[in-house]
C-alpha cells in the first residue's frame, strides 16, 4: 500500500494519520480495535486525546465516501472501531524470472572430430542450468557456426543474448582453452580468459569454470556456485582427447626408440 486509494480508476491520496488508522483496521480484518490501540500505534508518545482519533475516523469516512447504505468503519461505543467489510489481501504479481539465451560455438581445435565432441559435451553440460535462468541453443543449430559470416548470420537470425567462443591450444602434455564471452547486443566482449587443463585433471572442471564465468558476467543468473556440479560427459570427452593424444605419440620413431631400450 502506498498511502493512496484507487476508486473508479482514480487515485485518492490519504493523509499519513488517516492512512495509518485505515491500515490497522484492515489488518484486523473485522476484529474490534480499541481506541487506545489506535492512539498508541498511530500517535505513539504524543499527547493527544480521543478527539484527534474521532476527527481521523470522520476524515476516513469521507475519503471512503460512506453513506447510510455503505458503511465501512463501524463504531462500537466503549470498545473501539472495526472495518465491517470483507478484506482480501491482493499481492502484486510475482516477477517473472529472467532467462538468458546462450549460444555455445564450436571450439577451434586441430582435430574437427575432437572439436565436435567437446562442443556437444559442453552444450549438454550447460543445458542442465535451464532452471536457473540459462537457455542454451542446441548443438544442431550451432555446430556448423565456425566462420565470422556464420556467427553473424546466427546472431542475426536467432538473436541470443550471449555467445561463447573458444579455442584449445596444446601446451606440452596439457591444453590451454582460451574463452571469450560476448554480449550479442553491440558485440561487446564481456570476458576473456585462458583456462589450463592439466594432464589427468578432471576435465569437468572446464565446465565448472565456464559456469562460474557465466555467473560473473551475466546478471540475473540465479544459481549458487555450490550448485555447479561436475559432469561425466565432459570427463569422458577429455579422456578420449587425452587418449588420442597419447596414441598419436606412438610414431614409428617412437616405437624404434622404445624397442631399442
For the stretch 2-31, pLDDT in tens is 567 777 778 888 888 888 899 899 988 889
Co-location of 124 and 234 in the same domain = yes
Cα–Cα distance measured from residue 82 to residue 72, given in angstroms and rounded to the nearest whole number? 8
Cα–Cα distance measured from residue 107 to residue 46, given in angstroms and rounded to the nearest whole number? 72
Residue 204's pLDDT band, with cuts at 50, 70 and 90, is low
- In whole numbers, what is the pLDDT of the chain averaged over residues? 79
Which pLDDT score, from 0 to 100, does residue 109 have? Answer: 86
In a domain, 184, yes or no: yes
Co-location of 36 and 138 in the same domain = no
Co-location of 203 and 155 in the same domain = yes
Average pLDDT over residues 119-127: 87
For the chain, the domain total comes to 2
Which CATH number covers residue 126? 3.40.50.10070
Co-location of 34 and 138 in the same domain = no
Which pLDDT score, from 0 to 100, does residue 259 have? Answer: 43
105 Cβ contact partners less than 8 Å away, ≥ 6 residues apart: 119, 142, 145, 146, 151, 163, 164, 165, 166
The helix/strand/coil state of 241 is: helix
Co-location of 50 and 179 in the same domain = no
Cell of 10: 482514480
Which pLDDT score, from 0 to 100, does residue 251 have? Answer: 47
Cell of 213: 564465468
Last residue of one domain, picked from the residues 57, 83, 109: 83
Which CATH number covers residue 51? 1.10.10.10
In a domain, 259, yes or no: no
Is the pLDDT reported for residue 46 higher than 90?
A: no
In a domain, 253, yes or no: no
203 and 197 in contact (C-beta within 8 Å)?
yes
Which pLDDT score, from 0 to 100, does residue 160 have? Answer: 95
Cα–Cα distance measured from residue 235 to residue 206, given in angstroms and rounded to the nearest whole number? 9
Residue 225's pLDDT band, with cuts at 50, 70 and 90, is low
In a domain, 151, yes or no: yes
Co-location of 77 and 9 in the same domain = yes
Average pLDDT over residues 138-154: 92
Q: Determine the angle formed by the axes of helices 16-28 and 50-63, rounding to 10 degrees.
A: 80
Is the pLDDT reported for residue 249 higher than 70?
A: no
Residue 231's pLDDT band, with cuts at 50, 70 and 90, is very low
Is the pLDDT reported for residue 103 higher than 70?
A: yes
Which pLDDT score, from 0 to 100, does residue 97 have? Answer: 65
Co-location of 155 and 234 in the same domain = yes
Q: In residues, how long is the chain?
A: 261
Average pLDDT over residues 191-215: 79
Which pLDDT score, from 0 to 100, does residue 95 have? Answer: 64
Co-location of 78 and 113 in the same domain = no
Cell of 12: 485518492
List, for residues 165-183, the tens digit of each pLDDT value.
998 888 877 788 899 999 9
In a domain, 260, yes or no: no
In a domain, 225, yes or no: yes
Last residue of one domain, picked from the residues 51, 83, 115: 83
* pTM assigned to the model: 0.51
Average pLDDT over residues 205-209: 79
Co-location of 124 and 184 in the same domain = yes
Average pLDDT over residues 229-258: 45
What ranges make up the beta strands (E) of 67-213? 73-76, 80-83, 100-104, 134-136, 162-171, 174-183, 188-197
Last residue of one domain, picked from the residues 56, 83, 110: 83
In a domain, 74, yes or no: yes
In a domain, 258, yes or no: no
Average pLDDT over residues 70-78: 89
Co-location of 218 and 177 in the same domain = yes
Average pLDDT over residues 39-56: 84
Co-location of 14 and 58 in the same domain = yes
Cα 31–chain centre separation? 41
223 and 215 in contact (C-beta within 8 Å)?
yes
Co-location of 162 and 37 in the same domain = no
Is the pLDDT reported for residue 153 higher than 60?
A: yes
Q: Which alpha helices (H) appear in the chain, and where do they start and end?
A: 16-28, 35-43, 50-63, 112-126, 139-142, 148-158, 204-217, 232-248, 252-260
Residue ranges making up the domain that contains 13: 4-83
Cα–Cα distance measured from residue 13 to residue 11, given in angstroms and rounded to the nearest whole number? 6
Amino acid at each position: 500500500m502506498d498511502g493512496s486509494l484507487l476508486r473508479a480508476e482514480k487515485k485518492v491520496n490519504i493523509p499519513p494519520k488517516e492512512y495509518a488508522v485505515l491500515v490497522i483496521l484492515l489488518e484486523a480484518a473485522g476484529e474490534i480495535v480499541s481506541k487506545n490501540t489506535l492512539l498508541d500505534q498511530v500517535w505513539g508518545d504524543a499527547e493527544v486525546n480521543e478527539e484527534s482519533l474521532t476527527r481521523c475516523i470522520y476524515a476516513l469516512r469521507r475519503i471512503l465516501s460512506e453513506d447510510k447504505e455503505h458503511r465501512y468503519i463501524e463504531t462500537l461505543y466503549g470498545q473501539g472501531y472495526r472495518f465491517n467489510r470483507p478484506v482480501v489481501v491482493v499481492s502484486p504479481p510475482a516477477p517473472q524470472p529472467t532467462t538468458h539465451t546462450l549460444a555455445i560455438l564450436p571450439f577451434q581445435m586441430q582435430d574437427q572430430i575432437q572439436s565436435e565432441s567437446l562442443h556437444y559435451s559442453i552444450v549438454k553440460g550447460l543445458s542442465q542450468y535451464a532452471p536457473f535462468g540459462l537457455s542454451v541453443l542446441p548443438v544442431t543449430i550451432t555446430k556448423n557456426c565456425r566462420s565470422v559470416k556464420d556467427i553473424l548470420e546466427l546472431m542475426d537470425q536467432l538473436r541470443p543474448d550471449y555467445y561463447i567462443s573458444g579455442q584449445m591450444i596444446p601446451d606440452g602434455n596439457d591444453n590451454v582453452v582460451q574463452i571469450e564471452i560476448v554480449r550479442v547486443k553491440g558485440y561487446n566482449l564481456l570476458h576473456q580468459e585462458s583456462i589450463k587443463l592439466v594432464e589427468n585433471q578432471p576435465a569437468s572442471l572446464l565446465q565448472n569454470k565456464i559456469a562460474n564465468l557465466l555467473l560473473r558476467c551475466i546478471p540475473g543468473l540465479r544459481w549458487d556456485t555450490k550448485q555447479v556440479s561436475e559432469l561425466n560427459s565432459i570427463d569422458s570427452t577429455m579422456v578420449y582427447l587425452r587418449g588420442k593424444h597419447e596414441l598419436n605419440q606412438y610414431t614409428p620413431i617412437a616405437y624404434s626408440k622404445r624397442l631399442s631400450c
